[in-house]
Amino acid sequence: MTNPDVSTSTPGLASRLATRIPSDVYATLAFLVLVNLAVVVVGVESPPLRVALSAPLLLFLPGYVLVASLFPRASLPEDHHQSSGWNVVPAQHTELDGPERAALSFGLSLAVLPLFGIAIAFSPWPFADDVVVPGLSLLVLLGAATSAARRGAVAPESRFDVPFRAWAGRLWNFISGDGAANTVVNVALVLSVVLSVAVVGYAFAAPQDGERYSGLSLVTENESGEYVAGGYPENFTAGEERDLTVAVENSEQVETEYTVVTRVERVDTNASGGPVTVLEATELRRATMTLDPGQRRYDEHAVAPETTGENLLLSYYLYRGDAPETVGPDTAYRHVYIWIDVSDDSAAAP
């Protein structure tokens, strides 16, 4: 009875497979797990920490795995020659050093992001953390698998891999320097580079204040079933219900609770210029709703104003959270209105 060949056993196959997977692929997988756990599962709220995790995923990794797939070799063989014809997977004919790969990684990442954004825009999913982060992670994961397969077909001596241990040794030698003074200067230089990269990453990845807002609008449904602005009812009869639709959109990047207050207001129409003065107000309804990031809700409802007169305002006030006791343009986050006339049909009865 002979012993099984170790090279064909399960541990042997796993060992050979592990040696064919580049170390940067393992580092990429570990980072993807970390960023998804922190941003999607845990929901880290600290802006600096979120940027530190999301900036590499946005600005570097998509281009990096693409470059590693297109250029699997660190060095070309001596008998390399330019091939003719067209191949589905192009062969590598150019050597790239570390700075060139890094520059291409940043550039290609910036080129890929708009295409990814267009794909999200045409998908049924909103621009939210639990969509963008897993989507980009899947894209990077596919690129990493492709690069691992491409580099696995290259001889080890020509295969591109990231020399993490060599870099760590060079960094330590650079920091330690030839004395205490040089060490301090080198540490300050490294920290300044890290700080500069963090600032640039924050500028790209951090959401700006102008990108966070809530929308409120009055809409009507046209003949084709689409919601449009216009075609609002103008003439009401006191006590008679008329159907209206108000749209609320959440672009606050977080789940948000809203309160919509509807009022009929008699205003001073003789005032010229300046804000409209409300002489009398009657509240018709209060509606609360909770919207996910990127969600828009159409609130179809009926109103039956009792206040009669011409040139009345049918106003809608939007509040984030609960509405205060004093409702009006000065306290509301958003305010929309239409002009209506409300008649009293009882006056015309015999």
For 51-64, what is the mean pLDDT?
A: 87
Query: Would 188 be classed as within a structural domain?
Result: no
Residue 231's CATH number: 2.60.40.10
Q: Do both 143 and 10 map to the same domain?
A: yes
Count of positions (residues) in the chain = 350
The whole-number pLDDT of residue 85 equals: 46
Q: Do both 157 and 230 map to the same domain?
A: no
pLDDT over 70 for what percent of the chain?
73
Q: Do both 219 and 333 map to the same domain?
A: yes
Burial class (CB in 10 A: 0-12, 13-18, 19+), 209: exposed
- Which of 224-228, 327-331, 344-348 is the most confident on average? 327-331
Q: Do both 327 and 255 map to the same domain?
A: yes
Residue that terminates a domain, selected from 123, 145, 162: 162
Query: Would 42 be classed as within a structural domain?
Result: yes
Q: Do both 147 and 216 map to the same domain?
A: no
Q: Around Cβ 122, how many Cβ atoms within 10 Å?
A: 7
E-assigned strands of the chain?
213-221, 227-228, 235-237, 242-251, 256-267, 278-291, 296-303, 309-320, 334-343
DSSP 223: T
Judge contact between 258 and 291, C-beta under 8 A.
Answer: yes
pLDDT in tens, 196-216: 666 655 555 554 544 678 999
Q: Around Cβ 101, how many Cβ atoms within 10 Å?
A: 17
Q: Do both 141 and 61 map to the same domain?
A: yes
Query: Would 290 be classed as within a structural domain?
Result: yes
The whole-number pLDDT of residue 205 equals: 52
Query: Would 167 be classed as within a structural domain?
Result: no
Q: Do both 155 and 16 map to the same domain?
A: yes
Q: Do both 11 and 157 map to the same domain?
A: yes
- How far apart are the C-alpha atoms of 168 and 182, rounded to whole Å? 18
- Our count of domains for the chain comes to 2
Of the candidates 246, 274, 266, which has an alpha carbon nearest to the alpha carbon of residue 258?
246
Query: Would 172 be classed as within a structural domain?
Result: no
Summary mean pLDDT of the chain: 80
Q: 137: domain range?
A: 6-76+93-162
Judge contact between 228 and 272, C-beta under 8 A.
Answer: no
For the ranges 12-16, 186-190, 287-291, 338-342, the lowest mean pLDDT is seen at 12-16
Q: Do both 114 and 226 map to the same domain?
A: no
Judge contact between 276 and 321, C-beta under 8 A.
Answer: no
Number of Cα atoms under 13 Å in the Cβ half of residue 75: 7
Query: Would 236 be classed as within a structural domain?
Result: yes
Query: Would 83 be classed as within a structural domain?
Result: no
Q: Do both 262 and 157 map to the same domain?
A: no
Judge contact between 44 and 50, C-beta under 8 A.
Answer: yes
pLDDT in tens, 130-184: 888 999 999 999 999 998 998 888 888 888 887 666 666 666 666 666 666 666 6
DSSP 348: G
Q: Do both 254 and 334 map to the same domain?
A: yes
Q: Do both 144 and 219 map to the same domain?
A: no
Query: Would 123 be classed as within a structural domain?
Result: yes
Edge to edge, what strands does the sheet with 309-320 contain?
235-237, 334-343, 309-320, 256-267, 278-291
Q: How far is CA 189 from the centre of its chain?
A: 33
Reported confidence tier of residue 334, pLDDT bands at 50, 70, 90: very high
- How far apart are the C-alpha atoms of 156 and 73, rounded to whole Å? 9
